[in-house]
Homo-oligomer: A and B are copies of this chain.
Amino acid sequence: MKKVNVFAPASIANLGCGFDIMGLALDEVGDVLEMSVRDGDGLTIVNRSGVPLPEDPEQNVITPVIRKFMELTGNRAQVDVVIREKIFPGSGIGSSSASSAAAAFGINELFGAPLSEEEVVLCAMEGENLASGGYHADNAAPAVMGGIVLIRGYEPLDLIKLPVPGDFYCAVLHPHLVVSTKEARSILPPKVDMHAAVAQWGNVGGLVAGLYSGNIGLVGRSMRDAIAEPYRKGFIPGFDELREKVLQSGSLAMNIAGSGPSVFALADRREKARKAGEIFEQHFAARGIDYHSYVVKVSNRGARLIAY
């Protein structure tokens, strides 16, 4: 029997303008799995995280991830997974991706790492498909690879790890409003206005240029979403007012994390991110909404083995 403990970080998809093609890993928050393999053929998943999850393994994102790994590598084993720590589902900070990425990374390590990093992401995307009905990599890729990842294209998967500026802090608040990814996707129209689309790809170009050139002002002003935000901000009470306050306090950008309802602010100093976090907390507390909130430095670390 071989055994590992694996951590995979929470992540923020979209980053304002990069709907479905960009995401960032939040190194200090994530899922922890204890995984072991032995002779046999099967999978058990035990949830010890304290966070309610479906009992049926077919409803757990870990199952299709392990299945994909076995299919790609031609292996067979009895796999036992204990979920030790779990981000709350529906948080918008890549809860399903953190489990999927940890499972994909862990099973690959248990078999001596036969798959490339990109193939590990492909396995993790099977979990995303179960959770949201689509093969998205904007949380899964940063959860595996760390840092900020651009998904240049999906057919074939083309992942570009972008440089992370030295000082890059995020305040994230997860209000305890459950919005499923499926619901958040279904309110988006199948077609988008050409003018908004042009604005969006100008901003994507600006965001990538800002990351490469270390121009954090350019990063901030590029993180605007003309496509999904106008629809999704309706899930978050007082969104526009909240953003105005956060930007006035010195943050460079504020957006919905992935499909929401979490929100995040980007700042170039930890104090400014803390200030944004306080404004977030006051905003939701005043509306009687429970929350979890974090202030984290963006780092280049993704899924990895840990002592536990």
Closest residue on chain B to residue A162 by CB atoms: B209
Given contacts A158-B221, A209-B212, A212-B208, contact A200 B203 (CB under 8 A): no
Contact B198 A21 (CB under 8 A): yes
What copy number does this chain have within its complex? 2
Closest residue on chain B to residue A208 by CB atoms: B208
Given contacts A201-B21, A218-B152, contact A158 B206 (CB under 8 A): yes
Q: Does A58 contact B (CB under 8 A)?
A: no
CA A22 to CA B206, docked complex, whole Å: 11
Q: Does A189 contact B (CB under 8 A)?
A: yes
Q: Does A289 contact B (CB under 8 A)?
A: no
Q: Does A145 contact B (CB under 8 A)?
A: no
**Chain A, range 109-142, C-beta contacts under 8 Å to B:** none
Measured CB to CB, the closest approach of chain B to A229, in angstroms, equals: 14
Contact A205 B160 (CB under 8 A): yes
Identify which of A12-20, A61-69, A253-261, A266-274 touches chain B.
A12-20
Measured CB to CB, the closest approach of chain B to A188, in angstroms, equals: 7
Measured CB to CB, the closest approach of chain B to A248, in angstroms, equals: 20
Count of residues in A whose CB is under 8 Å from the partner chain: 40
Contact with B along A147-173 (1 / 0, CB 8 A): 000111110001010100000000000
Contact A192 B202 (CB under 8 A): no
Q: Does A279 contact B (CB under 8 A)?
A: no
Query: Which chain B residues lie closer than 8 Å to A208 at the CB level?
Result: 204-205, 208-209, 212
CA A61 to CA B141, docked complex, whole Å: 48
Q: Does A197 contact B (CB under 8 A)?
A: yes
Measured CB to CB, the closest approach of chain B to A133, in angstroms, equals: 14
Q: Does A227 contact B (CB under 8 A)?
A: yes
Q: Does A213 contact B (CB under 8 A)?
A: yes
Residues of A within 8 A of B (CB): 17-22, 150-154, 158, 160, 162, 188-194, 197-209, 212-213, 218, 221-222, 227
Closest residue on chain B to residue A195 by CB atoms: B190
Contact B160 A209 (CB under 8 A): yes
Given contacts A206-B150, A208-B205, A209-B208, contact A194 B188 (CB under 8 A): yes
Measured CB to CB, the closest approach of chain B to A187, in angstroms, equals: 12
Measured CB to CB, the closest approach of chain B to A29, in angstroms, equals: 25
Query: Which chain B residues lie closer than 8 Å to A153 at the CB level?
Result: 199, 202-203, 206, 221
Given contacts A191-B194, A192-B192, contact A205 B150 (CB under 8 A): yes
Given contacts A150-B209, A193-B190, contact A200 B201 (CB under 8 A): yes
CA A188 to CA B198, docked complex, whole Å: 13
CA A194 to CA B188, docked complex, whole Å: 9
Query: Which chain B residues lie closer than 8 Å to A205 at the CB level?
Result: 18, 21-22, 150, 152, 160, 204-205, 207-208
Measured CB to CB, the closest approach of chain B to A60, in angstroms, equals: 28
Contact B192 A194 (CB under 8 A): yes
24 residue pairs A–B, Cβ–Cβ below 8 Å: A17-B201, A18-B201, A21-B198, A21-B201, A150-B202, A150-B206, A152-B206, A152-B218, A152-B222, A153-B199, A153-B202, A154-B202, A158-B221, A160-B206, A160-B218, A162-B209, A192-B194, A194-B227, A197-B200, A200-B201, A201-B201, A202-B204, A205-B205, A205-B208
